[in-house]
Structure 1
């Protein structure tokens, strides 16, 4: 029998967005744009770059792990307790893009983080879609 106690949980959000991958990529990788839909940050699209997202409730430490413009972006996301990885995948879909966000690595003993991410990411992606519409 498998020991499920060691299994981690993931949050996955997928959206089909009526904008090209290159435009969405800008919103995912330009600090001033990221700040409009996610959080204040000092992101740079460079593997190994360490950066923080900060909000009223605190901050989260991250490091860029992989980057392949305009197809995929991956960074660690955590604090002293949380060690997760956020991966964005962009795939052309008709006239738009299938955008996939997966955050992996939530331990079973971290329900607060997991539920926070599960409720937070759909809101962040809604804000991202609003930003993309304003970008024209």
Structure 2
């Protein structure tokens, strides 16, 4: 059971360019870590790409968000391709508790995992998102991806990714300061 309240499910700003978003996932922590490090498992909720667990190594994440929906799914929003890749580099790793990496050339993402009973608090901190338009896209994206991860890790049907992303982008537009 995921007992983070609906209010807490939304990301918050920890600074003008820093988004923090959390979910409680089923444990144990090693299982949650595998959804982060195993390319096949990660491709079920986020993006594929082999990550060598060593500081300084480069890797590429490849998104295919159309495949994250169980069922036919809605069409992707205008401006998005069927596939998108991003070059990254491992900045820190402490299995099974922390993974930090560059997000392209100007941002960073940190995943922190913490055991809470038989669940795992899965926290994403995305920093360096200076433009509000990109912050809205990133906020909606992480939120939708985490909802997909929760469904994948509990065996529940995954939500329609693009419908959720579009709805969440509008909600974050209302929630985040201008």
Q: TM-score range by the shorter chain?
A: 0.7 to 0.9
Residue 87 of structure 1 corresponds to 110
Choose the corresponding residue for 2:25, options 17, 20, 38.
17
CA contact (8 A) 1:10 1:103 kept: yes
Choose the corresponding residue for 1:72, options 92, 98, 101.
98
Unaligned runs of 5+ in 1: 1-6
Q: CA deviation at 1:8?
A: 4.7
Q: Please report the TM-score for the alignment, with normalisation by the length of structure 1.
A: 0.82
1:55-92 Cα offsets, whole Å, 9 max, x none, are 3253211111110011111011125xxx1110011111
Unaligned runs of 5+ in 2: 1-14, 64-81, 156-178
Equivalent residue runs for 1:104-123 within 5 Å = 104-107=127-130, 110-123=131-144
Kindly report structure 1 stretches of 4+ aligned residues shifted beyond 6 Å: none
**What's the C-alpha RMSD, in Å, of the aligned pairs?**
1.6
Q: Distance in 1 between matches of 2:52 and 2:133?
A: 29
Q: Which structure dedicates a bigger proportion of its chain to strand?
A: 1
Residue 37 of structure 1 corresponds to 45
Equivalenced residue count is 123
Q: Please report the TM-score for the alignment, with normalisation by the length of structure 2.
A: 0.64
Q: Aligned in 2, Cα 1:62/1:8: closer, same or farther, shift over 3 Å?
A: farther
Residue 164 of structure 2 corresponds to none
Q: Distance in 2 between matches of 1:41 and 1:71?
A: 20
CA contact (8 A) 2:56 2:91 kept: yes
Question: Are 2:89 and 1:63 aligned?
Answer: yes
